[in-house]
Structure 1
């Protein structure tokens, strides 16, 4: 549905570093960077645009698709290494459905960042 999502971050340098490291296991890289901000994208998925703001933004929940459960695990490790705070270790979330495997971290601006694989184990 979305082509891109754009939102402000109060510490641009910290958010840039966090999202690049945390989303690297999911294949997300810099698509474009300019003075106005940075656009991150993966293959065939909507892009995420971060722009600097003077205001502390309202908290968001951003869920990123993972191809497999190993990517979810790698995302969680990378996000914690990048300074994220654990908000749910990798694992099944059967309250959503039987194959909902996800991990959650809180990013620099308090956003709840999730990686999720909804496919059954091969």
Structure 2
């Protein structure tokens, strides 16, 4: 259903340094990186979906949207924990610590954070422990 998701950033190098360890914790590999402009990660065994960080093409400043969030799928609860802790260690801010969210479904385990530019990210696992 999803081909790619783009998250607009103003400071590409900072965003690349922030997202690289998160993508590694989730088992994703770098598909491309064009210096100072954009980079994209993908699952190791599939060509898509892509998670892309990029400077806006129109040249205007990137802005985080109110009510917008990107949800990244994790294969395990440990991967959720690892991605979340990596985010906080690299300048992210907590929007909800890792844990079960049974209001979504009994096995929903997620964490929420904002990147250094204010973009809201969720990392979640839907599998039982």
Partner of 1:37: 38
So what's the TM-score if we normalise by structure 1? Answer: 0.89
Query: 1:80: how far off?
Result: 0.8
Structure 1 runs of 4+ off > 6 angstroms? none
Query: 1:69: how far off?
Result: 0.6
Instruction: Please tell me the root mean square deviation across aligned C-alpha atoms, in Å.
Output: 1.5
Contact residue 70 and residue 120 of structure 2 kept, 8 A: yes
Query: 1:7: how far off?
Result: 3.7
Alpha-carbon distance in 2 for matches of 1:86, 1:6: 21
Alpha-carbon distance in 2 for matches of 1:22, 1:7: 14
Show CA shifts across 1:23-66 (max 9, x none): 22101231111244111122334111222234132333111111
Partner of 1:57: 63
So what's the TM-score if we normalise by structure 2? Answer: 0.85
- Comparing 99-108 and 33-42, the one that deviates more: 33-42
Segments of 5+ residues of structure 2 without an aligned counterpart are none
Count of residue pairs brought into register by the alignment: 121
Query: 1:72: how far off?
Result: 0.7
Alpha-carbon distance in 2 for matches of 1:70, 1:49: 23
Show CA shifts across 1:61-110 (max 9, x none): 11111111111111111111111111111100011111100011110221
Segments of 5+ residues of structure 1 without an aligned counterpart are none
Alpha-carbon distance in 1 for matches of 2:32, 2:80: 25
Query: 1:113: how far off?
Result: 1.0
Alpha-carbon distance in 2 for matches of 1:83, 1:24: 17
SS of 1:103's partner is strand
Show CA shifts across 1:5-35 (max 9, x none): 2342111111111111222210123111124
1:89 to 79, 97, 107: 97
- Comparing 2-11 and 69-78, the one that deviates more: 2-11
